[in-house]
Chains A and B, each alone.
Chain A
């Protein structure tokens, strides 16, 4: 018995040893693995398939000198997202590895369709992180990936820089990940949003990485010669697309997006301008830094109406102002002039009012009023679930304070 046991254990040990060093039995060679950094989802222009998916692939190369990140774009077509991704592997010979894919771009060709049809794949599969950000392109999604920016040779990395905001940066982008987008879609509100990416052409090139270009390959790529001719671009994501039941129903402009973020994002150290304020007989522009932002959204329901009350309490410091003579600096803790305070309150008040009206007009319930009715005022849920936006009574209150 002892002998048999020993044999079994030696056999088991060897077996485990083989698995440990199997390297997946060499089936996935690192050379054949494509590290996808971003995916662009478009409709197939030829009409043969439903979707065309372009993957931006980082190509790491071992070199002795420091070089820019090399990239390639590969497109695949299919009638489902999964088949288009599979097609990428088929045409390139690379196994599309999505674990590092942080950005999913939706092209304008999908505007008239239910975007959940394409995004659902990413929320269900374990292959891609649900924390990948979703953005909408003003043009085709593929174009975004093909652009060269002075920020990084790989446009996906440049996009990440503006989308993943660290504390201390302005929270001016309404970022959303796959999970949150899909969760909004399946929630009682059926409402979601995502930032719109606009391409802003740079007049002067930085002369840095932008001109160096990347290696295009496999159909979707670009030659470095073509890239050199192109003007470098930067991206703007300060506007927001609104979705109701998966369909695009409207947009939020820059001010509305900013106002929305003041209610839902960490606004510490975000700056905003208050322009044309008359102070000491002079028209001045102020740059204020928000040091404290306390938003309050109250939703209540009664037999007669649904009420939304939004209040915002901001504590700001003057960061800069243009004046013919001033010793005001951020460090000096200058008191906030009344005219600036009023102008700031007016600015936020106007934006917040416009934000609520956008929600009512488009039907995109990004305040989650319906969800709130369902969770906290369930007895009114049946009564108002279809008409709550029409019967909405709202109020906005903004209070801006500064150094006292």
Chain B
């Protein structure tokens, strides 16, 4: 069996791409709801994600096939297609905010004076390039971008250290349980990363210590997110909810920046560069599913149509962005929970059914089941 990915690449994938989308708009959205308890809301989502990841990790260990085979084997063609269509919708929804954030951020910081729809067009070209490639491109990209992400992240965090008021997260839980849960719910669009791992099942050789390696790297990516939220709130305290784009803001108060000007943009650029792939991930997985569903020879046509839809959504419907954002944050959450938590948690059922099949086949070699063999 030819494997698309190596365990190392998946580990690096978690660190290189998963935390990035959470560095733009998400911190201010949660801070607006839960204030100093924003980190608890994030922690809740992280723990849920990790639980889902652990379930999928178990499936990956037990399974010898990829997710598409597992689905069709267990659910049959029709039902598995329905599940995949649901995931197409999920990834499409998930991609809107992540791409739009990147677009708005680039426009409002780099092209402040002359914003134009064409400035962001290269992103879609890059996304198209990514989508036409096989799954192994993510592994290769992770090998390269992992370092870029880390450089950017470390630089931004290091520059923020001087301005931290870590006591600002006190008192713990003062905003109430309801608000904390509300914060978790509204930010769920940026979580659910464990779902990506479902598409890696059967695409890499599950080695002896892979469970620890994968879990550890997933935990590192979670810590990166949590640390960023803590740093963000500690820098901005009571005005955190007003800082729509956390990425530009957290590092700029250090004295070094005042004296040498904004060299923190080097770190920001590193994050932005890695996030070209990070933001394109939902589209990538969406395209992979679509290519499975639509059985045509020239798969790039399917991908082109998908990228076209995304481009129209992001550019033409930008006037409706507020309504789209409100819908995704307020109403789509239930769908996200179903698709990124409940459904993946049912994944072990796919291999249980497979095990049953195995029991039926196994007796072939045994003498006692001679009747069955015949």
Contact = CB atoms under 8 A, between A and B. Distances in A.
B242 A8 contact: no
Contacts of A5: 132
B239 A123 contact: yes
Interface string B239-260: 1001001001100110001100
Contacts of B227: none
Contacts of B257: 131
A217 interface: no
Given A12-B125, A378-B171, A164 B258 contact: yes
B236 A183 contact: yes
Contacts of A332: none
B167 interface: yes
Nearest to A133: B258
Interface residues of B, number: 36
Interface string B277-306: 000000000000000000000101000000
A142 to B, nearest CB: 25
B187 interface: no
A130 to B, nearest CB: 7
Contacts of A376: 167, 170-171
Which 6 residue pairs across A and B have the least CB separation, nearest first?
Answer: A186-B238, A375-B170, A27-B114, A378-B171, A12-B125, A187-B238
Contact of B113 (A4, A95, A177, A378): A95
A126 B248 contact: yes
B300 A1 contact: yes
Interface stretch (B44-52, B104-112, B322-330): B104-112
Given A131-B258, A179-B253, 9 more contacts: A9-B129, A12-B129, A16-B122, A19-B119, A95-B113, A183-B236, A183-B238, A186-B239, A376-B167
A124 interface: yes
B238 A24 contact: no
A24 B111 CA distance: 7
A387 B140 CA distance: 62
Contacts of A95: 113
A378 B37 CA distance: 14
A179 B239 CA distance: 8
B95 interface: no
Contact of B171 (A16, A25, A374): A374
A65 interface: no
B121 interface: yes
A96 to B, nearest CB: 10
Given A378-B171, A378-B174, A179 B236 contact: yes
A362 B171 CA distance: 27
Contacts of B238: 183, 186-187
B225 interface: no
Residue in A28, A131, A374 with the greatest tally of chain B CB atoms within 10 Å: A131
A376 B167 CA distance: 9
B113 to A, nearest CB: 5
B232 interface: no
A182 interface: yes
A11 B229 CA distance: 39
A130 B249 contact: yes
A15 interface: yes
Contacts of B121: 15
8 contacts: A1-B300, A8-B129, A127-B112, A131-B257, A179-B239, A179-B253, A183-B239, A375-B171
Interface of A is mostly: helix
Contacts of A374: 171, 174
Size category, A interface: 20 to 34
A378 B174 CA distance: 8
B304 to A, nearest CB: 10
Contacts of B249: 130
Contact of B253 (A28, A130, A164, A182): A130
B235 to A, nearest CB: 8
Given A16-B122, A179-B253, A375-B171, A126 B242 contact: no
B23 to A, nearest CB: 15
B112 A126 contact: yes
A130 B111 contact: no
Nearest to B36: A375
Interface string A1-40: 1001100110010011001000011011000000000000
Nearest to A11: B125
B237 interface: yes
A164 B259 CA distance: 10
A25 B112 contact: no
Contacts of A9: 129
A99 B112 CA distance: 11
Contact of A24 (B113, B168, B171, B237): B113
Interface in B172-196: 174
B114 A126 contact: no
A201 B243 CA distance: 41
Contacts of A127: 112
Contact of B125 (A15, A99, A124, A130): A15
A5 B238 CA distance: 51
B128 interface: yes
B127 to A, nearest CB: 11
Given A375-B167, A375-B171, A378-B171, A123 B114 contact: no
B113 A12 contact: no
Contacts of B118: 19
Contact of A15 (B122, B128, B245, B248): B122
Contacts of B116: 25
A28 B112 CA distance: 10
Interface string A87-103: 00000000100010000
Nearest to A12: B125
Given A131-B258, A183-B237, A375-B171, A19 B252 contact: no
Contacts of B112: 126-127
A226 B359 CA distance: 100
Contacts of A227: none
